[in-house]
């Protein structure tokens, strides 16, 4: 049996801009807010792209759909601000019915070419079951598909969407991809020092939590990794991929 390799520290030396592509408002905060905080502190320009409008994320019949959409956008902007994230893009697909359509792929591709990130963070399209008691939301999986299909083969190939060149959006190849929710992560980031801010960002999504104090307790207990000395450390982990020009040429053969 091959033993899994221990995840390594990230290499962000070539990263000036990072794009986080997620399904719902609050997904970036659960999955990678600590990483976003650290990147922003290093001067990396981080952008969140939220693919759906979050209009299913509440069970209160007194809240209308349009009210909820506006509420969740405000909450995500507030959470992003806590993390040093300056821009949040809302693609406004319907919550619960996200699909990797040709139209959405083009819209995401346009934003990749506009922002020109070196690093993209997205969910795993392969994660169906989590632990023993949670079925992963289909929007999470499809957000991963949307991101991957926009990255390759579309974003860096001039034969895809040549009309974008007329808009000034030229092909762009990312250098790194981080995938969240992967069973065998290869990169881990210690976010212990920023845990309080990460939790504040999660709790900024007030529409999602009836008992924020209980949620905070649950978050601290869920994420904490007990160390040999009895202390707890907190990590965000990713499957990391790195691309170079040679990889691109081999794929096109």
pLDDT at position 246 over 60: no
Question: Looking at residues 47-51, what average pLDDT do you find?
Answer: 98
Domain assignment present for 3: no
**138 exposure class (CB count in 10 Å sphere: 0-12, 13-18, 19+):** middle
Q: Please check whether residue 213 lies inside any domain of the structure.
A: yes
How far apart are the C-alpha atoms of 144 and 137, rounded to whole Å? 12
In a domain, 2, yes or no: no
- Summary mean pLDDT of the chain: 93
Alpha helices in 57-152 (DSSP H): 65-82, 102-115, 138-149
| Residue 1 placed within a domain | no
Q: What tokens appear for 105 in the block?
A: 């792929």
Helices (H), ranges, 42-64: none
43 part of a folded domain:
yes
Q: List residues bridging with 22 in a β-sheet.
A: 50
pTM: 0.94
Find, among 45, 65, 63, 64, the residue nearest to 55 by Cα: 65
Of 146, 20, 24, 140, the C-alpha closest to 84 is 20
Q: Quote the domain boundaries for residue 98.
A: 17-224+232-252
Note whether residue 238 is domain-resident: yes
Tell whether 61 is covered by a domain: yes
Residue 232: how many other CB atoms lie within 10 Å: 13
- Whether 97 and 212 have beta carbons less than 8 Å apart is answered as no
Rounded distance, CA 191 to CA 198, Å? 9
What is the per-residue pLDDT across 4-37, written as a single tens digit (0 to 9) for each?
Answer: 678 999 999 999 999 999 999 999 999 999 999 9
**CATH number of the domain encompassing residue 83:** 3.40.50.10320
> Tens digit of pLDDT for each residue in 125-155?
999 998 888 999 999 999 999 999 999 999 9
- Tally of domains in the chain: 1
Question: For residue 4, is it within any domain?
Answer: no
């Amino acid at each position: 049996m091959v033993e899994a390799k221990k995840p390594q520290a990230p290499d962000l030396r070539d990263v000036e801009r990072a794009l986080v592509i997620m399904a719902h408002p609050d997904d970036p905060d659960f999955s990678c807010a600590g990483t976003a905080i650290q990147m922003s502190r290093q001067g990396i320009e981080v952008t969140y792209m939220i693919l759906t409008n979050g209009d299913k994320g509440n069970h209160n019949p007194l809240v209308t759909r349009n009210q909820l959409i506006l509420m969740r956008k405000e909450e995500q902007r507030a959470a992003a601000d806590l993390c040093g994230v300056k821009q949040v893009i809302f693609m406004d697909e319907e919550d619960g019915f996200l699909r990797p359509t040709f139209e959405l792929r083009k819209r995401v591709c346009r934003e990749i070419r506009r922002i020109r990130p070196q690093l993209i963070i997205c969910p795993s399209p392969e994660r169906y079951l989590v632990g023993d008691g949670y079925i992963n939301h289909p929007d999470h999986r499809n957000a991963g598909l949307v991101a991957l299909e926009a990255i390759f083969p579309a974003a860096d190939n001039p034969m895809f969407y040549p009309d974008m060149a007329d808009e000034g959006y030229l092909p762009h190849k990312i250098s790194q991809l981080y995938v969240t929710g992967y069973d065998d992560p290869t990169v881990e980031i210690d976010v212990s020092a920023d845990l309080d801010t990460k939790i504040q960002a999660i709790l900024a999504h007030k529409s999602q939590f009836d008992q924020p104090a209980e949620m905070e307790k649950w978050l601290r207990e869920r994420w904490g990794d007990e160390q040999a000395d009895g202390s707890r450390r907190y990590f965000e982990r990713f499957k990391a991929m790195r691309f170079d020009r040679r990889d691109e040429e081999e794929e096109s053969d």
